[in-house]
Structure 1
Amino acid sequence: MPVAVHWFRKALRLHDNPALAKAVAACSAPNSSLLPVYTLDPHFVKNSHIGTNRWLFFLESLQDVDRSLSESGSKLLVLRGEPMTLFSTLFDTLIANGETVSLYFEADTSPYARNRDAAMLELCASKNIAVHTFNSHTLFNPSDVIKVNGGITPIVYQSFLKVITEKMPAIQPATPTLTQVPPLSDEMKALLTYTETFGFDAFQVPSMEDIGKAVPGENLVSTHKGGEREALKRLEEYMKQKDLVCKFQKPETNPAAFQPASTTILSPYLKMGSLSARTFYHELMKVYRASKIGYTKPPVSLLGQLYWREFYYTAGYGTPNFDKMLGNPICKQIPWRTDEQSNVDLEKWATGQTGFPWIDAIMIQLKQEGWIHHLARHSVACFLTRGDLYISWERGAKVFEKLLIDADWSLNTGNWLWLSASAFFHQYFRVYGPVSFPKKYAPESVKYVRKYIPALKNFPEKYLFEPWKCPIADQKKAGCIIGKDYPKPMCDHDAVSKVNIGKMKVAYDEGKVASPPKAPKGKKRPLDED
C-alpha cells in the first residue's frame, strides 16, 4: 500500500503548500495513505536561543495545522528526537508492513537544515524511498538566483532586483488551499502504536510544559497569536486598506505606534511558514493592479519588503559563514569589545537597563511581546554596536534570535550585518541618536516610553528621553529618582559615538575585510538617523 509521508517543517499551512499538495495527490490511488509528520528536533528544543514567546507562537502554529488536518479526519504525528533516528524507525515500520513509502517536504536553506536534509536524502536512498522536495518558503530559489547571476551571490539590493526582475522566471501562482486531505486510517494508527513507548502521545501537539519550557507569565504579554488562520485573517484585513497598501513606505512608518502598529506585522507568519510568501505577493499584486493612485516601489514599498526578504535569503545561502564575522568574505573585520565589562554592558542592553529610555522601552517591548518595529530594531542594534557600546553584532543577533517571534536566520543575520555597518551598508558615521531620534516621533514615542517603562509614566515630557537632565525637584514630583528608580545613562552618547566612529574609520582604512564579489553599484537603502 502506498504511503506518502509529508514532513512539515516551516510550511505550517494548508494554503500554497506544494509539497503537501503533491503528497495528497499521490494518495489518489485506492488503499493509499497520507501520513503528516512533524519532528521536534533536539537541535532546536535544547537551543537556548529560543525564548518563551517564540516557543508559544510556534506551538500555536503547530496546533493550527493539526486542527486543519483533524477537520478532514487526519492527524499530525509529532515525534520528538533526532530526525534521522525517528524517520529511520518510522520507515522501517512502514516497509516491514509492506508499504511503499515516499517522502515529501519543503526545502530549507539554512546551514543546519541543508546538512540535515542531505543526511535525509542519504537515508532515503539507502531504503529505496523516493523523495520529493519543493521550494515554497521564498518567492525564488536562492540557488537559482545565484546560478542565473553567473554563480555570484548578489550583495547589493538593486543588483539583486535586476537579477530577479530580468533573469528569473515570473513568480508562479500559489497552489490552491487544501480543503480536504486523506483521513488517517485506523490501520495506520494501529501501525504507529510503537510510538506509545516514547512516553508521550505522538498524536497530540505538546504543550510548553511537555517540552520543558516555561509557561508565559504576566510579564510576557504578546498579542501575536500563531497559526495559519490568524495569518490569513491579518493578511486579508491589511489588504483591505488599499490606500495604505499602495502608499506604504517602510522608512516613513512610526516605530512608536501601537494599537495599531504602523506595519503589517506579518513577518512572524512568513517566518513560521503559516503565511506563504507567494500568497502575500499575489494578494499584493491584486491591490496594486486595481489601484487608481499608483503605488510605491522597492525598496521602500511592501513589494520591496518581500524582496528584502528574498535578498537576505539569497545572501545567506551563497555566503560562507554568513552568521559570523570570521571567515565571512563580505563582513568587515571590526575589533569589537571583548572585555569583561562588555558582558555587563550587553546584559544591561538586553534587559532594558541602559538608562536611555528609548532604547530600554524597545528592549522591554521585545522581551514582553516578541516583536518590535524595524526602526526600533535599527535603534537598539546601532546602540549596541557602532553607535555606543561597540559590542559585536553577533552577540546582539543571538539576543534577537531568542526574543523575536519572527527570528529568521537569514534576515536576522543580514540586518545585523547591515546595522553594524559590517556588510551591505557602510556609512558607519550615520548613527541613530538614542535621544534625538525618538523625538521625531512624538507624541507617539512619549506614550510608547511611558507604556513600557512605568517608572517614567509621570516624568515631564521635556526630559523623558534624557531623564538624567531633569531637576531633582521634578524627579521627586514624578516619583522617579534617576539612579534609584531608573538607571543613570551607561555612557555619554555624544562623546562615545564620536570615539566609535573613529574606531570604525580606522578599521575601514586598515582594510580588515576580504574582497567581496564584484557587483554593480546600486541605490543605497534608506536610513533614518540623527
Structure 2
Amino acid sequence: MDTKTTLIHWFRKGLRVHDNPALNLIITKANSEPTKYYVRPIFILDAALIQWLRVGANRWRFLQQTLVDLDANLRKVNTQLYVVRGTPATVFSRIIKDWRVSLLTYETDIEPYALKRDADVQRLAKEAGVKVETFCTHTIYNPELVIQRNGGSAPLTYQKFLSVIEKIKVAPALGKLDSLIDVQPPPKDALELENANCYACPTIDELVKRPEELGANKFPGGETEALRRMNAALSDESWVAAFEKPNTAPNSLDPSTTVLSPYLKFGCLSARLFHQRLMDILKRHPKHSKPPVSLHGQLLWREFYYTAAASESNFDRMLGNKFCMQIPWEINEEHLTAWTHGRTGYPFIDAIMRQLRQEGWIHHLARHAVACFLTRGDLWISWEEGQKVFEELLLDQDWALNAGNWMWLSASAFFYQYFRVYSPVAFGKKTDPTGAYIRKYVPELAKYPAGCIYEPWKAALSAQREYGCVLGKDYPHRIVKHEIVHKENIKRMTAAYKVNREVKEAKSPKKESSKGKRKQAGTSAQSTTKKQRT
C-alpha cells in the first residue's frame, strides 16, 4: 500500500524556480526522505475569473507563456507544473484528500482578495491537519516588518521609508534549486485517469477570449526571458550606475529602461535577486546615482507602495482610503472614452494610450503624462477610472503600484504639488522633437511636419489636406484646450485641498495647537517631494 503523502507548492505570483524559498522547502523536504513524499507544484486556474477579471489579451498571453516556461523549468528539476482548474476553495477541498496532502507552501500576498482567499484555504488545511508554510518573497522587504519598525504605521514619505529599511537586513537570494532525487511521479488521480491532460498548461485559446486584441509580442512572458532581460540590462554597469529616471525618454521607440516590471509583477524575476545583483554593481561604482531617481531607487518605489497598500484595504479607491484626498472629480464618459482609446486630439497623449493598448507597456514618464492629463491636468476625471484602464491593459499591472502611482499623479496622496502640471505638448517635444513616436502610434499624422505634429490644430485646413489628415474627419479635434483648463483645474485643486484641510481640522481635538505643526509638516513634505520629482 502506498503510504506516501504529497507536498504542494502553490504558485500564484512568484512564477519562477530561482530564489523561491517556498518551492525550495518542499524540494528539500522531499529529497531528505524520498520514500515518504510526492511533490506537486500547482497553479490554480479559475475559469470564472477569466470571464470577469479586468485583464486584456496581452496580459493573458503573458501569463500563458509564463506558465509554459515555468513547467519547462520545473521539468529540469524532475517535477512539473500541475495547472488545476477551479476555485481555490473547491480545488483544495478535493486535492487535500485525493492527493493525501501533508504540507502546503506558498508566497504571501497583500491584496484584499488574496488575503480572504488564503484565509479560506488555511482554514481548510487546518481542518484536514495539513501544515502550511508561507514566505514573504514577492518584495525585498516584508511590508509588515517595515510597518512594525515604523511604529505600527506605514511610512508616508519615500524618504521616511528609506530611513526605516536601511536598518533591515536583506537575506541573500537562494542558489540554484536542487533537482528531485526520486523522479517517480505521483500516482494519477481520478481526473487524470479520465483525462491525461487535465493538469496541462493552458493554451492561448483557453485564456485569450478576444484574440483580435493581441498586439505585438514584444515582451514574452516567463522566467527564462526575465533572467535574460535582467542580465542584458545589468551587463552595462556604467549605464546602471548613471541611470536617472528623469533622463530617460518616455517616447523612445526602443525602451530606455529595463522593462523588467512585468516580470517583477508576475514574480518571473525575484526582486531580491535583482536587488542583490544591482547592489553588487553599485559597490563597484561608488560614484553612482541615488534614490529616488536611480535604478535602485525605482526598485524601492515598488517596496514603498507595497508597504503603504499593506496597511489599507481600500488602497485602490478614494472613499474610505486613509491616504487619499477626497476630490470632487467629474464623470464625463465621452472624454474618458476618448482618452482610453487615444482619441483626445493631443497626439502625444494619444500615441501613449495606443502604445499601451497595442503592446501592454509604456514608459513610466509616459504614464505620468497620461495620468496627469486624465485627472488634475485636463479632464478632471477620477484617478479610479484611469486605474481601471491600466488594470486591463498593462502587462505589469500590480494592485499596489497601480493605485499608488495613480494617487500620486492625481495629487491625491503622497505628492501634493498639484500646480506642477505636465504639458501634453511640451513634455513630449523635449525628448522627441521630430515626432517619430507619434508617427508610429498615430499614423494618421505621419505626414505632418515636426513643427505642428504635436499641435496639429495649428495647421491651416489647406495644409491638413496636403498632409492627408483633416482634423474632425481623419483625426479628432482636441477635446479640451490645455492652456485654459489646466489653470481652471489648479483652482479646483486649491479649493479641494482647502475643504480637505478644514475637514481634517474639524476632526482634530487640538485644532489650534496643531495648525502650525501641520503647516510646517506640509512644507517639509513638499520640499521632499520636489527632490523626488527633480
* Other-structure match for 1:421: 411
Which of residues 312, 325, 334 in structure 1 aligns to 2:327? 334
Once the two structures are TM-superposed, the CA of residue 193 in structure 1 deviates from its matched residue by 3.6
What is the alpha-carbon distance in structure 2 between the residues aligned to residue 207 and residue 183 of structure 1? 29
Aligned partners of 1:248 and 1:426: how far apart in 2?
26
Aligned residue for 1:258, secondary structure, equals coil
2:79 is the counterpart of 1:78: no
Partner of 2:23: 20
Matched, 1:319 2:322: no
CA contact (8 A) 1:72 1:183 kept: no
Contact 1:268 / 1:405 at 8 angstroms: preserved in 2?
Answer: yes
| CA contact 1:34–1:182 (8 Å) conserved in 2 | no
Partner of 2:106: 105
Partner in structure 1 of residue 511 of structure 2: none
The code of the aligned residue for 1:67 comes to: A
**1:405 corresponds to which of 370, 395, 400:** 395
- Secondary structure at 1:397's aligned position in 2? helix
Among candidates 446, 457, 467, match of residue 456 of structure 2: 467
CA positional deviation for 1:221: 1.2
Q: Secondary structure at the match of 1:221?
A: coil
SS of equivalent residue, structure 1 residue 36: strand
The 1:125–1:181 alpha-carbon spacing in structure 2 relative to 1, beyond 3 Å, is same
| d(CA) in 1 for partners of 2:530, 2:27 | 43
Alignment of 1:498-513 (within 5 A): 498-511=487-500
Q: Distance in 1 between matches of 2:196 and 2:337?
A: 37
Q: CA–CA distance in 1 between the matches of 2:462 and 2:442? A: 20
| Superposed CA offset, 1:365-419 (max 9, x none) | 0000000001100000001000111000001000000000000000000000000
Higher relative contact order (CA closer than 8 Å, sequence separation 6+): 1
In the alignment, what sits opposite 2:514? none
Q: Which of residues 212, 215, 234 is equivalent to 1:239?
A: 234
Partner of 2:245 in structure 1?
Answer: 250
Of 42, 67, 72, 2:72 maps to: 67
Pair 1:11-2:8 in alignment: no
Match of 1:201 among 197, 217, 223: 197
Aligned residues: 513
Q: Percent identity?
A: 45
Q: 2:266 and 2:391 mapped to 1: Cα distance?
A: 14
CA drift of 1:76 comes to 1.0
Q: Which amino acid aligns with 1:25?
A: T
Q: What SS does the aligned partner of 2:110 have?
A: coil
Change (3 A) 1:134 1:124: same
The alignment partner of 1:346 has SS state of helix
Separation in 2, partners of 1:352, 1:200: 46
Deviation at 1:311, TM superposition (A): 0.2
Q: Is the 8 A contact 2:59 2:360 kept in 1?
A: yes
Q: CA deviation at 1:58?
A: 1.0
Unaligned runs of 5+ in 2: 509-517
8 Å contact kept, 2:411–2:417: yes
Q: CA deviation at 1:200?
A: 8.4
- The CA RMSD measured in Å over matched residues stands at 2.1
* Pairwise CA distance, 1:120: 1.3
The one-letter amino acid of 1:18's match is P
Amino acid of the residue matched to residue 326 of structure 1? Answer: L
| Distance 1:474-1:110 versus aligned 2 partners, 3 A rule | same
Cα deviations by residue, 1:401-456 (Å, 9 ceiling, x for unpaired) = 0000000000000000000000000111111111111111123x611000101111
Q: Aligned ranges for residues 24-43 of structure 1 at < 5 Å? A: 24-28=27-31, 29-31=33-35, 32-42=37-47
Kept in 2, the 8 Å contact 1:3–1:27? The answer is: no
Letter in 2 for 1:55: W
Matched residue type, 1:211: L
Take 1:184 and 1:458, find their aligned partners in 2: how far apart are those partners? 62
Whole-angstrom distance in 1 between the partners of 2:276 and 2:446: 44
Q: Is the 8 A contact 1:330 1:514 kept in 2?
A: no
How far does residue 43 in structure 1 lie from its aligned partner after superposition? 6.2
- CA–CA distance in structure 1, aligned partners of residues 246 and 504 of structure 2: 31
- Cα deviation for residue 473 of structure 1 reads 2.0
- Give CA-to-partner distance per residue, 1:148-184, whole Å, 9 cap, x none: 1110111111011111113x2x111001122524566
Stretches of structure 1 that go unaligned for 5 or more consecutive residues are none
TM-score (normalised: structure 1): 0.93
With over 3 angstroms needed to count, the CA separation of the structure-2 counterparts of 1:185 and 1:213, relative to structure 1, is farther
Alignment counterpart, residue 356 of structure 1, candidates 320, 342, 346: 346
Contact 2:22 2:105 in 1 (8 A): yes
Q: Deviations 1:107-136 (Å, cap 9, x if unpaired)?
A: 111111111111111111100000010111
2:228 counterpart of 1:263: no
Q: What is the TM-score of this pair, normalised by structure 2?
A: 0.92
Q: Which amino acid aligns with 2:449?
A: P
- Range with bigger deviation, 22-31 or 347-356: 22-31
Choose 170-179 or 156-165, whichever is displaced more: 170-179
Question: Residue 482 and residue 79 in structure 1: after superposition, are their counterparts in 2 closer, same or farther (change >3 A)?
Answer: same
